Structure 1
Amino acid sequence: MKEPDIKYNNRPQSFNGIEEMVEFLPATNTKKMEKMTLKRKLVILGVVVGAALVSLAAGLLVWHFAYRNVPVNKVFTGYLTVSNVEFVDAFENPSSPEFANLSSKVKEVLLNAYRNDPAIGPHVVSCNITAFSEGSVISYYLSEFKVPAYLETALDKAMSELKVKTASVRRFSLSVDTFVAYPTDPQVARTFRDNLCSFFLHSSPGVTTPFSTVGFPNYPYRANSRCQWALRADAGHMILLHFKAFKMEPCKANKGDYVTVYDSLTALEPRVMVRLCGSYPPSYNLTFVSSQNVMLVTLVTDNVGKHPGFLAEFTQIQRTTLCGGVLREASGVLTTPFYPAHYPPNRECTWDIQVPGNQFVKIRFLMFYLLEPSVPITTCPNDYVEIRNQRFCGERTPFVVSSNSSKMMVKFRSDQSYTDTGFMAEYLSYEPQNPCPDQFTCKSGRCIDLVRRCDGWNDCGDSSDEALCTCSALQFSCKTSQLCKPKFFLCDGVNDCGDGTDELDCKCPEKYLKCRNGKCIPQEQKCDRTDNCGDGTDESECGDALTTACTENTFKCDSGNCITKLNPECDTVKDCADGSDEKETSCSCGKRPYSRKTRIVGGVNADIGEWPWQVSLHTKRDGHTCGASLVSSTVLLSAAHCFQDAPGVRYSDASVWTAYLGLHDQATRTSSPDVVERKIKKIVAHRGFSDYTYDNDIAYLELDSPVTYTDFIQPICIPESSRVFPVGKSIWVTGWGALSEGGSGASVLQKAEIRIINQTECNKLLEGQLTARMICAGYVSGGIDACQGDSGGPLSSVETNGKVYLAGVVSWGEGCARRNKPGIYTKVAAMRDWIKQNTGL
């Protein structure tokens, strides 16, 4: 029989064949037993403690040598000012004897200062002088250290507190006024120092000096590169730097390709003016001003992606500290220095404003951009505008600051790092009893037209124009705020009231599902592979795409099978068994090389290349007449009503029309290299178009020859018939139409963000004029709409997958931007079959 496993037993154990003998003491000899037991316990305790101490010592040694004593590479960069040396031009050339002579002396002074500090001296590896600049002579350096990990903090502290004093070097005394040191990335610093991709440029008076990444624009910049451009201007000048083109790898968190601009000749982190990545349209503000006559531009790239890089230019401007001033007129304008370029670092401006007579003063900020990365806009510790002890910073929509007197002090301050566009403002005088003559006075001091009072739109920005109002028949009242809102905000999926009042009565009973068409069905009918809603809602979000019966609400694969998934096309997931929902021919559209940056839209001008499918259609008689959208290299989509004949003009004749693609400003139509001109070969308007109801308002145009896609010319995606653009979704309308009802057309392409409106409520406003082939959309803040000349242009929907779809075609509306009169657009998804039959797309 096998013995059971016993962890402890009292049997003798054999070691190498020798039995361990155990002595059992007589029970009667208790004192001897106690003495022996105590002695044995003490021995055992000593052995245990000794073993523990040995283990602890060994662990400490392992920790010390394996972790605590691991050498850490540290690099510091900064500058010191030598006041008794006069700057000469030869100091700009690192290969000159003058540079070598002075740099050796400065280097010796630095090394002596390091060696005299016990926390620094033992760890010095190298010290190099990288550049000189005026003032009297600013010496930029790069020092490398190797320090045990446990002494790293002590080194950092010692370098931050180090005082480099005036010293004698080879019978010459260097008078040192200032010493600044900051840690920097060792890998980046060392690569910059040793790299051949370093350039030294000096701008001549009145001359613009260009520079770019190597190979721009014909070849992409190199992977794993470290490049730098040291920019200089003459003494007494500043540098104005402008990036004319910027196309790099999309931004990545803490990695990827990026360009950094420093207000220095060395990579000092506290002197970073801007860090750039991604792509910017040519119209985006990328102009920067230095505080002195030097600037450093660095490029760091990884091993992923190939992109053209950047083209930049710089010039020198006279250095001036003039900023602010005494203002005594009744009104005037004030801006940050060099607006709209980014204001220079390290500036302070004060405007002393006093308006005449017994009037009061207020200032209206029209543009306000004082934003820094990771800086709280509540306290504004760095860059700010200060009025009456209140600081303003960040990005702000237009706002007003009023004074209860004729005087106002406005102070602007920028620190040494991260600059922005700044502000543009106007100050005005007003009668204390009547601050807004013939207008409504907002609580903020802003003035708006009287007709905007109690119209359901927050025109003041603080809702003071909508307070204490009685709702009209076209409005409803929010429960908590008591604000009146347009009825077409009801049930659009957006919480306009803030308390959910406008969405409260739109819900279905408990355990019921709300369909997009408003129908309520039992929850158990969801995902049962039957279209119980009638619009596919209950089967569209059921995890994996399932094969189902084909309806107008389902996506049809090339195989003929239909799937339940909502909007499956081009979402990078192959839902159709044949992969036809992700076809390259269908998904290589809707790309924006220059996507809109996340800034507050201060105006309505579009950026260059922001809407690369926008087309301007011209006639010889009228010039710009209608808009259109590029959907392939030869096909445009527009509105059928643009091509209806009129007395004296056959608009249906293709030869009457000329299309301009890649256009931004009508004034540069024939001079811009980005613009392509094409004649129209054929026009086909929908046969069902009604010039009375504007139903089926769509047409396609064929170009006389294909266009080549560029950064400024790209096709927009055509949505499938099953694609859903939900109510409340933000969407964009663009065009060169009239800026006001009955007004003249715009020269620069305009854009407005609007949102899709509840079809039922919109139909009530427009007295039943909508059809199933129309989309209703309005501007969420009111006052902006499509207008004459925008007809035929795109209603662009930016999707979560980054692609842009042609949700609608500008069709009709009652006037332009009228209250409670949203714009009407042709629903392109409803026209999908007609487009496919006529164009093959």
Structure 2
Amino acid sequence: MKNSDSGLKYNSRTEKMNGFEEGVEFLPAMNSKKMEKRGPKRWIVILAVVIGALLLSVMISLLVWHFKYRDVRVQKSYTGYLRITNVNFIDAYENSSSPEFSILAEKVKDLLKTLYLGNSDIGPYFKQCEVTAFSEGSVLAYYWAEFSVPKYREEAMEKAISQGMPTENVIGRRSHLLNIDSLVAYPADPKMAKDSRDKSCYFSLHTSPGVKTSFSTPGFPNSQYPNNAHCQWVLRADAGHVISLNFKTFAIQPCRQPPQDFVKVYNSLSPVEPYALVQLCGSYPPSYNLTFLSSQNVMLVSLISDATGRYPGFRAEFFQLPKTTLCGGTFRNASGIITTPYYPAHYPPDIDCIWDIQVPSDKNVKIRFNMFYIAEPGVSVSSCTKDYVEINKQRYCGELPQFVVASNTNKIEVRFHSDKSYSDTGFLAEYLSYEASNPCPNQFTCKTGQCISKALQCDGWNDCGDFSDELSCTCTEDQFQCKESKICQPKFWVCDTVNDCGDNSDELGCECAAEMLKCGNGKCIPLAQKCNSIDNCGDGTDEFNCGAVAPVNCKDYTYKCKNNQCINKNNPECDGKKDCTDGSDEENCSCGTRPITTKGRIVGGVNAYVGEWPWQVSLHTSIDGKHICGASVVSNKWLVSAAHCFQNAAGARYSDPSKWTAYLGLHDQNSLNSKNVVAVKIKRIIAHRDFNDYSYDYDIAVLELENAIQFSNTIQPICLPDATHNFPVGKSLWVTGWGATKEGGPGAAVLQKAEIRIINQTECNKILSGAVTPRMICAGYLSGGIDACQGDSGGPLSSVEANNRLYLTGVVSWGEGCARRDKPGLYTLVTTLRKWITDQTGL
């Protein structure tokens, strides 16, 4: 029924209702609002409803926060050790299955529970603890402790643990007949804390006097180590000894960020960062320095692996050495050698040494550091807060080239300090006495105190390390004088886009005028002509890298995809990005990588190490019965070398492929039968038909192997660059080979490596009187000293490009002598002959 039909209306008349009459009289209203039937005021009701809703919302929020967020638990793991002073160590404590171990472990666990439960910031969240090992000292008990803490209490608990237990609860506490004088706890790496009670890949080893004890990853070398593994090796030596650990073979999953598979070594039986000695991943050759020393008689090796990868793992050995305090000492001879303890092994952690050196009173003394490797992850060389050498209140750390520290008296003190974590190779130094008035007889004296040949002064090369040999020099007509330092530099370094002077003065006069663009060949063009799809430069550099990668008209300088589409990107091949619409720029990219880790050092020399240049080949002939030339692996059937290696001479048929054997994976010429080496006969030699044995133009050849080879850690192909690949002037390259180490000298036994730079083609042609052709690339140093030589011919000139992939930039070809001044080396430029290589090999 509608409200308008209610039948009840307010009026002043008498009506009959329900069969009887009742008089109802309504007085006239002065204010109609007063006549309404009302309860509480409406605004009060509304306000009460709003407040009630707000309170309900707050209550619901509090309940949701309490049950969903406040009670969110964070799982925390800590590991550390405590020292028990009233228990003597017995052999049974080394065996976690022995009754003696179990009894003491239970006492330690009860003690830890008591300590943690007695702390209001820690106790409510304690879950469990586990004793993992014991060692001497009197007895050190190593443990894990696990906690489940609400998120909002996490910070307070962490603070309480980091501050340690209150003194009255720990120091001298007597519980279950155990006296302890220290308790140490550190947050545990979640990967290391993974299932700490799992003993499926746990090994405990104790070496004996005079014995080298070996161990390896499960299945090594016939099968890969397990996936999703957490393996631990507890290494022990007798009391009063330290451990020397050496990885003889090491090959696990390549390093990634963050690392997925890695090995970590600790100077402790607790896997905690403050006692970590080293973290390793990837592969290392036998020549790499992987020897580590402990500061006590225990060491822990851990392997963590993920769910992927098939790698053999490692084999290691360790032995014990008497623990000695002999470090540093007093020296009174006129000269001598000092090194970090156990050099060239990594020095032990937590050690301090002082060398007190005094030479005859009529002499001064200086220290020459020939090798210096004292670096620690994350430590700036300007601060040297962890490991360092200190002389004359000056600290030295990092990886430093040879340098000298001199004293103006006959006395000098050398201090060495290493902290508890991450050790390094250390230093090899000699102290020398010298006449104050003539510190370098018949030589030039650097400001550092180092002595060099006078012939090296003012040659444009920083032989002293501080440029003191290049100051106050008069530049020759072949040199350019830097503006600020006044140092003379080779003219062909001018305008090569590299700031050789340090103040950029060698590049200042090379810029084009405003609104002009400088081309790669030095030509200046209007800026508006950049990226207009026209090669205004003549070398295509104005059409490279024009914003987003896009198709362009094909030119000699543009990269052509398999679908014949050309793109405007410089060097797009195998850079990890699919720039061609058909993805062909990322095909055939299984080249130019080194399975063996190359980041690292060899102590001394310019020797390469095993697997560093896995495409390097040694070519031997039955004519000479020895190494003659080098070559590069470019596929499982083809090598690239130099044509001049195969020219017949004096009745010897070097062009006959049956006379040649290629040794792949070779490192040392005295180890042709090494297990890493593969010897393959040559089936066919194809030298470029335009090779000129007078000018050495077109000096290239490809060799077909008699049998296809299998790639390995020490045998890999190098990438062949596209014909459009650009190698700019000033770029660093690597030349490798077994050639003579000096002009006219014998060949090297161990593979050598040298870093050189691309030299401006025009300037190089001036130096070499027009002998440089477009098929050649000039590289080296004007100062000489670094170069390829006899026996290196045919070997690779390698360039590191995108994603650390290496490309065959050149082939060792010719030069005037070896490492002579003003006579850089000439190499066959592969890009100019790329089509010929494809035509011969299909690559």
TM-score (normalised: structure 2): 0.89
Q: In the alignment, what sits opposite 1:529?
A: 533
Aligned twin of 1:14: none
Q: Map 1:157-168; keep pairs closer than 5 Å.
A: 157-159=159-161, 160-162=163-165, 163=167, 164-166=170-172
CA contact (8 A) 1:754 1:780 kept: no
Deviations 1:506-550 (A, max 9, x none): 222222222222222223332232323222222232345555555
Aligned residue in 2 for 1:71: 73
Contact 1:396 1:600 in 2 (8 A): no
Deviation, 1:267, is: 1.4
Deviates more, 1:201-210 or 1:727-736: 201-210
Number of the residue aligned with 1:508 = 512
- Comparing 43-52 with 521-530, which one deviates more in the overlay? 43-52
Q: How far is 1:382 from its partner?
A: 1.3
Among residues 769, 777, 780, which one is paired with 1:778 in the alignment? 780
Partner residue, 2:448: 444
Where do 1:38-57 residues align within 5 Å? none
User: Residue 278 of structure 2 aligns to a residue in which SS?
Assistant: strand
- Please say if residues 368 and 396 of structure 1, whose CA atoms lie closer than 8 Å, have aligned partners that are also in contact: yes
Mean Cα deviation higher: 244-253 or 421-430: 244-253
Deviations 1:254-297 (A, max 9, x none): 45222211111111221111122233333222211111111111
Instruction: Tell whether 2:606 aligns with 1:604.
Output: yes
Question: How far does residue 196 in structure 1 lie from its aligned partner after superposition?
Answer: 1.9
Q: What is the rounded CA distance, in whole Å, between the counterparts of 2:782 and 2:227 in structure 1?
A: 45
**Alignment match, 1:35:** none
- Structure 1 runs (4+) greater than 6 angstroms displaced: 23-26, 39-58
Identify the residue that residue 18 of structure 1 maps to in structure 2.
none
Partners of 1:192 and 1:228 within 8 A in 2: no
Q: Give me the whole-angstrom Cα distance separating, in 1, the residues matched to 2:678 and 2:722.
A: 29
Q: Which residue, out of 642, 646, 655, partners 2:658?
A: 655
List runs of 5+ in structure 2 lacking aligned partners.
1-30, 35-40
**3-state secondary structure, aligned to 1:152:** helix
> Conserved in 2, the CA contact under 8 Å of 1:775 and 1:825?
yes
Q: 1:495 pairs with 485, 492, 499, which one? A: 499
The Cα shift of 1:607 comes to: 1.9
Aligned counterpart in structure 2 of residue 473 of structure 1, from 470, 477, 485: 477
Change beyond 3 A, Cα 1:576–1:265? closer
Secondary structure at the aligned position of 2:244 is classed as: strand
Task: Provide closer, same or farther for how the CA distance between residues 114 and 547 of structure 1 changes in structure 2, counting only shifts above 3 A.
Answer: closer
How far apart, CA to CA, are the structure 2 residues paired with 1:735 and 1:24?
Answer: 113
Alignment of 1:22-421 (within 5 A): 63=65, 66-159=68-161, 160-162=163-165, 163=167, 164-166=170-172, 173-185=177-189, 188-421=192-425
8 Å CA contact 2:289–2:602 kept in 1: the answer is no
Cα deviation for residue 663 of structure 1 reads 0.7
Q: What is the one-letter code of the residue matched to 2:331?
A: L
Tell me the CA shift for residue 345 of structure 1: 0.9
Give how far 1:71 is off. Answer: 3.3
Distance 1:187 1:595, change over 3 A: closer
State the shift of 1:361 in Å.
0.9
Equivalent position amino acid for 2:709 in 1:
V
| 1:698 corresponds to 2:707 | no
* Counterparts of 2:379 and 2:564, CA distance in 1: 55
1:646 maps to 649
Residue 801 of structure 1 aligns to a residue whose secondary structure is: helix
- Correspondence 1:606-685 to 2 at 5 A: 606-620=608-622, 621=624, 623-647=626-650, 649-670=652-673, 672-685=674-687
Amino acid at match of 1:333: I
Report the 3-state secondary structure (helix = DSSP H, G, I; strand = E; otherwise coil) of the residue aligned with 2:455.
helix
**Aligned partner of residue 804 in structure 2, secondary structure:** coil
What's the % identity of the aligned pairs? 62
Per-residue deviation at 1:150?
3.8
**Secondary structure class of the residue paired with 1:194:** coil
Return closer, same or farther for 1:253/1:553 CA change in 2, 3 Å cut-off.
closer
- Return the offset for 1:578: 4.8
**Which letter maps to 2:750?**
V
Instruction: Look up the SS of the partner of 2:542 in the other structure.
Output: helix
- In 2, Cα distance between the equivalents of 1:141 and 1:581? 54
Per-residue deviation, residues 180-201 of structure 1 (Å, max 9, x unmatched):
2222245642512235222222
Shift of 1:362: 0.8
Structure 2: how far apart are the matches of 1:565 and 1:161? 59
* 1:780 to 1:580, Cα distance in 2 relative to 1, 3 A: farther
Please say which of residues 809-818 and 113-122 is displaced more in the overlay: 113-122
Could you say if the C-alpha distance between residues 149 and 836 of structure 1 is closer, same or farther in structure 2, counting changes exceeding 3 Å?
Answer: closer
Query: What is the DSSP-based 3-state SS (H/G/I as helix, E as strand, rest coil) of the residue aligned with 1:94?
Result: coil
Instruction: Tell me if the contact between 2:259 and 2:281 (Cα under 8 Å) persists in the aligned partners.
Output: no
Q: CA deviation at 1:810?
A: 0.8
One-letter amino acid of the counterpart of residue 829, structure 1: T
Counterpart AA for 1:733 = V
Return closer, same or farther for 1:98/1:41 CA change in 2, 3 Å cut-off.
same
Unpaired segments of 5 or more residues in structure 1? Answer: 1-22, 27-38
Provide the residue aligned with 1:689 in structure 2: 691
Question: 1:609-633 CA distances to partner (integer Å, 9 max, x unpaired)?
Answer: 0100101122353622221111222
Asked if the contact 1:348/1:411 (under 8 Å) is kept, the reply is yes
SS in 1 for 2:765: helix
Cα distance change of structure 1 residues 83 and 533 upon mapping to structure 2, 3 Å threshold: same
Bigger shift: residues 202-211 or 405-414: 202-211
* Cα offsets for 1:41-70 (capped at 9, x unmatched): 999999999987887677666556554554
When structure 1 is superposed on structure 2, of 702-711 and 515-524 the one drifting more is 515-524
Indicate if the aligned counterparts of 1:368 and 1:424 stay in contact, CA closer than 8 A: yes
| Helix, strand or coil at the partner of 1:538 | helix
Task: Confirm or deny: 8 A CA contact 1:94 1:100 kept in the other structure.
Answer: yes
Aligned to 2:834: 832
Which range moves more in the overlay, 388-397 or 272-281? 272-281
Report if the CA contact (8 A) 2:282-2:595 is conserved.
no
| Contact kept in structure 1, 2:278 and 2:422, CA below 8 Å | yes
Shift of 1:776: 0.5
Change (3 A) 1:452 1:144: same
CA distance in 2 between counterparts of 1:165 and 1:518 reads 75
Question: Which secondary structure state, in structure 2, belongs to the residue aligned with residue 78 of structure 1?
Answer: strand
Partner SS, residue 191 of structure 1? coil
> Residue by residue, what CA displacement relative to the aligned partner does 1:437-494 show, whole Å, maximum 9, x if unpaired?
1111111111111111111111111111111111101001122222211011012111
The whole-number CA distance in structure 2 between the counterparts of 1:74 and 1:745 is: 60
Please tell me the root mean square deviation across aligned C-alpha atoms, in Å: 2.9
Residue range with higher mean Cα deviation, 465-474 or 550-559: 550-559
Is 1:485 the counterpart of 2:489 in the alignment?
A: yes
Deviation, structure 1 residue 749: 0.9
Q: Would the aligned equivalents of 1:636 and 1:701 in 2 still touch at CA under 8 Å?
A: yes
Which structure's CA Rg is the greater one? 2
Q: Cα deviation per residue 1:648-672 (whole Å; 9 max; x = unaligned)? A: 53333333332211011122222x1
Matched ranges for 1:498-577 at <5 A: 498-543=502-547, 550-560=554-564, 562-576=566-580
The Cα shift of 1:133 comes to: 1.0
Tell me which residue corresponds to 1:8. none
Query: C-alpha separation between the residues in 2 aligned to 1:572 and 1:157?
Result: 45
Whether the 8 Å contact between 1:335 and 1:424 is mirrored in structure 2 is yes
